[in-house]
Amino acid sequence: MNNNYALLFTYTLPDEAGVYTCIATNNVGSVEQKFNLTVLVPPVLNNFKNGDNLSIVAGSSNKLYCSAQGIPVPDIVWSKDKNIISNSEVIHIKDGILEILEADISHNGT
């Protein structure tokens, strides 16, 4: 005789992640199977400290902040005019923070 059971999640939340165990028992023994459930969450941008339109005086410095959450933790990449920005002498990027050390006309963008 077979008994089939299913655990159905209709709307999975991140706090439902974890190890689930199916245990089958009768009068001659017991067996179990563990399942590790990971709930994936798409990236969501957190509030920006700077807003979306900034002005900076040539030669001065400023920081742009970008924070995101998700599962797995999202990578944050900065780009300008569809080109990925890398660290340089006047631009430092770390932990989602883009720091412009000496702003000039080349840093203008939309």
Identify the CATH assignment for 41-107 out of 3.30.1330.10, 2.70.98.60, 2.60.40.10, 2.60.260.20.
Answer: 2.60.40.10
C-alpha–C-alpha distance, residues 21 and 73, integer Å: 26
Share above pLDDT 70 across residues of the chain, in percent, rounded to a whole number:
91
Q: What is the mean pLDDT of the chain?
A: 87
Which sequence spans correspond to the domains of the chain? 41-107
Instruction: Give the per-residue pLDDT at 23.
Output: 94
Longest Cα separation, the chain: 81
Write the pLDDT tens digit of every residue in 37-84.
999 999 998 876 556 677 888 888 888 888 999 999 999 999 988 899
For 10-106, list the strands marked E by DSSP.
18-26, 29-37, 41-45, 62-65, 68-71, 79-80, 83-84, 91-94, 97-100
- Mean of the pLDDT values across residues 15-43? 95
C-alpha–C-alpha distance, residues 12 and 38, integer Å: 10
Q: Please state whether the predicted TM-score (pTM) of the whole model is above 0.95.
A: no
- The DSSP bridge partners found for residue 99 are 63, 92
- pLDDT tier at 4 (50, 70, 90 boundaries)? confident
Distance of CA 57 to the CA centre of its chain: 32
